[in-house]
A and B are shown apart, each in its own frame.
Chain A
Amino acid sequence: DVKVTQSSRYLVKRTGEKVFLECVQDMDHENMFWYRQDPGLGLRLIYFSYDVKMKEKGDIPEGYSVSREKKERFSLILESASTNQTSMYLCASSQLNGANQPQHFGDGTRLSIL
């Protein structure tokens, strides 16, 4: 079965810390995505990667960076965490062949910045 695994379900960090959120997929998917989910706003795309070492900014990339050194792993990095980055973060993956391919999601990481 399809599996997207996020390393932490809950995470508490302090303002100014560098924070790493990890995501691994076992489906050999080319595309991987990072979203943040906030009440009333739905999901907003932070970054997107369509291949190893390739990345593309989404709608809200400010304050974030990403790393994709291996096909199965996509990391989201908060360079200097701030309280307005407290949110639910969701990772997803999809196949490359066709825009009609659904995205498969992990269970999310609920991040609190104090």
Chain B
Amino acid sequence: AQSVTQLGSHVSVSEGALVLLRCNYSSSVPPYLFWYVQYPNQGLQLLLKYTSAATLVKGINGFEAEFKKSETSFHLTKPSAHMSDAAEYFCAITRSNDYKLSFGAGTTVTVRA
């Protein structure tokens, strides 16, 4: 069964510093992978998705993620953190042969001034 593991439940970064959120996946078939962001008191918003077209995927708000098959990873990065990036981030993978998603436990990002 397809699954993802997010490493680190909390990440704290300084404003202007690199944001790196880690996600490793397990899949018996070529995966579809997603990163979502959840701001306080809101639902989830799609940041970006990997669907095998390109290994480096650019998303909204300056985020990008790189699919590395050899490392079974799909880490999310942003070169320079902004205060507005404070949120919870979820990695997700499509389960085989259907439309359901399996989500990681989430990583909460705090940005220090």
Contact = CB atoms under 8 A, between A and B. Distances in A.
Main secondary structure of the interface of B (DSSP, over half): loop
Contacts of A4: 43
Contact of B34 (A40, A58, A102, A108): A102
A25 interface: no
B32 A99 contact: yes
B105 A100 contact: no
A90 B104 CA distance: 15
Task: Give the one of A4, A42, A50, A90 with max B CB within 10 A.
Answer: A42
Interface in A1-59: 4, 9, 31, 33, 40-45, 48, 50, 58
Nearest to B49: A102
Contacts of A96: 99
The number of chain B residues touching the other chain, given as a range, is 20 to 34
B46 to A, nearest CB: 5
Given A42-B106, A96-B99, A100-B32, 18 more contacts: A4-B43, A31-B99, A40-B105, A42-B90, A42-B103, A48-B99, A92-B43, A92-B44, A94-B99, A99-B94, A99-B99, A100-B51, A100-B94, A102-B46, A102-B49, A103-B46, A104-B46, A108-B41
